[in-house]
Structure 1
Amino acid sequence: MSRIALTGTPGTGKTTVSELVEAELGLEVVHLNDAIREAELFTDRDVERDSFVADLDAVESWLADRVETDGDASHDVLVESHLSHLLDVERVIVLRCHPDALKPRLRERGESEASVAENAESEALDVILAEAVERHGADSVWEIDTTDRSPEDVASDVGAAVRGEIDPRVGVVDFVDYL
């Protein structure tokens, strides 16, 4: 089994794109944030951010148990979450979106202004991309810009990365102008 992380700042399109990729490739998708909540794979609740503090060791065990239960260790799994790049995975696909386009998406989801500002700044500073490259190396990371692109076009790029049809690419997106 190969685990592939689909990650990015909240609002970059991970869930929408993962559903399209799942339908296109027949790839199993694990929506990690749902699993963390439903299987109680967290250590604490961050009241200020209205989120859970994930227990990554428990998440790793849960993923391993899930594969053993399926009995098919040969299939690939796409793990979708803004945390998935922190797991043991073979490849990381980082979705990016310009902060000016990201902010309205987050507001539409009902995020607080503090959360909108924090996520926009994180995106401009390449926080998730930097973490992914530091943990997995540039040769295992694909950076894909979702700004002003249809979910179908982004899903096509993600599918190409999953299938190994495009080379890893890092540093192709720059939102420093936002700062």
Structure 2
Amino acid sequence: MRVAVTGTPGVGKTTATEGLSTDLDVLHLNDLVREADLTEGTDEARGSLVVDLEAVSARLEGRENLLVESHVAHHLDVDRAIVLRCRPDVLETRLLDRGDGEAKAAENAEAEALDVILSETVDRHGVDATYEIDTTDRPVGAVRSDIEAVLAGDRRPSAGTVDFTGYL
């Protein structure tokens, strides 16, 4: 089984996937991208690396029993995709607190309100393989438990259950 844990930057993907109780290998994709230089360059306007998704896919080809965590993980071939969500105002504060610029934080908060990553995930994997988990004001352990329930097959697909469009 291959699983993506994805979401807008700042929703808590890395924190939630560290220490998961799972037999799957957990891969923090952003680390691999930097270490193996799997990029197409830098987006100067955003100050971020542009991931070479073809190179990443080739690098992961044939690997099973894998959980991939990244804001681009939903672009990969997976059996289940878990989209972590966070209320846009809380997300923007998190991003500013970790040192992201105001424009980048606002752009990501808007993307969260518009369901950008959820929409991309459903388009690629369908509603029957997409799970949403709201991380807003929840303890990390509770979010981890929700992820573990998806992995165990104890949680039903839930695309479209989180709605932040009121923040637009």
Confirm or deny a common fold (TM above 0.5). Answer: yes
Candidates 142, 150, 168, aligned match of 1:153: 142
- Alignment correspondent of 1:78: 67
Q: Which residue of 1 aligns with 2:154?
A: 165
Unaligned runs of 5+ in 1: 68-72
Could you tell me how far apart the structure 1 residues matched to 2:159 and 2:120 are?
12
Give TM-score scaled by structure 1 length: 0.91
TM-score (norm 2): 0.96
1:6 is aligned with what amino acid?
V
Where does residue 118 of structure 2 map in the other structure? Answer: 129
Q: CA deviation at 1:132?
A: 0.2
* Residue identity opposite 2:6 in structure 1: T
Identify the match of residue 32 of structure 1 among 13, 17, 29: 29
Shift of 1:107: 0.8
Percent identity among equivalent residues? Answer: 55
Q: RMSD of aligned C-alpha atoms?
A: 1.1
SS in 1 for 2:156: coil
The structure with the largest helix share of the pair is 1
- Distance in 2, Cα, partners of 1:171 & 1:84: 19
* 1:84 to partner: Cα distance: 0.2
Alignment-derived partner of residue 115 in structure 1:
104
Per-residue CA shift, 1:13-60, capped at 9, x if unaligned?
Answer: 000001031xx2243111111111110111111122111111111001
Q: Does 1:57 align with 2:39?
A: no
Residue 11 of structure 1 is matched in structure 2 by 10
CA distance in 1 between counterparts of 2:99 and 2:32 reads 21
SS in 2 for 1:20: coil
How many residues in Structure 1 have an aligned counterpart in Structure 2? 168
Q: Which runs of 4 or more aligned residues in structure 1 lie more than 3 Å from their structure 2 counterparts after TM superposition? A: none
AA aligned to 1:36 is V
Alpha-carbon distance in 1 for matches of 2:98, 2:129: 31
Alignment match, 1:99 = 88
Q: Is the 8 A contact 1:20 1:152 kept in 2?
A: no
